[in-house]
Homo-oligomer: A and B are copies of this chain.
């Protein structure tokens, strides 16, 4: 039995705690969350874990891995503790809102040589993986360009926006990662235009709610991105990969399997809403991959370096939006 601890018992920590507890080779020993709450107690009871503090986790030599799903401002420190104590780590993105910190922590983690899986869960989604596999296998032909739609169901509350690092670091970063993952190479140029068209609260928080982004890869291939904090019908998360022989479309998945027809036409349901539901399989697969890393030394689909590179693109996008010009990214570019 592998013993794990989960930091953070909020929305995504809850998912990871349940997945860890349900894994046949895992004992979820600890949950750490500084805010006492009934929901956290229930989660602990359900998963058989003890609610403890951070020190307890790192002083327990039986804990072989930690899941970092606490608030963003704690990620860097916990990663460093994990590196120091030699524990495997599964960390939610981003490592930090401060790029220099991300770079520094990434270096430390890499030098420590600990197993580290970064929470770009979309890489573990069976449909996105299908697309990746079909491209890598050569079956689809040469990948030429990608179109990605990411629209949230509705704007987040202002308090969230203010702590989020902004739309590029918070939302589009998943798309930047997917772009690198599918292209299999780095991004050379970013152009980003953004505006607050939907929610004045977002503008008041100094952020945008709509962004149009163009990435050019080192070899000259393209990614055209549409990012938005709202879609009238709910969560919109699609991808279209144009290859020389095939176009591959990751589609939204309907919530309901019933079509209704009436005098107005044919009506199908809204898509799965929201990422917790849409990517439930991906989160489970991530936990399995993390356990494999500990048990067999397997490599993750996304590691600490992928977090750094995706964030580099996010930083460049912010600069592009401010300057109105495409930003050229070199391997050591930083904001």
Interface residues of A (CB under 8 A from B): 24, 46, 126-127, 130-131, 134, 140-141, 144-145, 147, 149, 151, 189, 191, 193, 195, 197-198, 210, 212, 214, 216, 220-222, 224-226, 228, 230-234, 242-254, 256-270, 324-326
Instruction: State how many angstroms separate the Cβ of A217 from the closest Cβ of chain B.
Output: 10
CA of A210 to CA of B141, assembled, Å: 16
Query: With A130-B258, A131-B258, A325-B324 given, is the CB distance from A145 to B212 under 8 Å?
Result: yes
Residue pair B224, A212 in contact (C-beta under 8 Å): yes
Residue pair B210, A256 in contact (C-beta under 8 Å): no
A149: chain B residues at CB < 8 Å are 147
A212: chain B residues at CB < 8 Å are 145, 214, 222, 224
Residue of B nearest to A327 (CB): B324
CA of A270 to CA of B266, assembled, Å: 7
Residue pair A263, B232 in contact (C-beta under 8 Å): yes
A243: chain B residues at CB < 8 Å are 232
CA of A198 to CA of B252, assembled, Å: 29
Pick 29 A–B contacts, CB within 8 A, sort by A.
A127-B256, A131-B258, A140-B260, A144-B197, A145-B212, A145-B226, A189-B324, A191-B214, A193-B216, A198-B244, A210-B222, A224-B226, A232-B244, A232-B246, A232-B263, A233-B263, A246-B260, A246-B262, A248-B258, A248-B259, A249-B261, A250-B257, A251-B259, A264-B270, A265-B269, A265-B270, A266-B267, A324-B325, A325-B326
Query: With A193-B222, A246-B262, A324-B189 given, is the CB distance from A257 to B253 under 8 Å?
Result: yes
CA of A193 to CA of B249, assembled, Å: 23
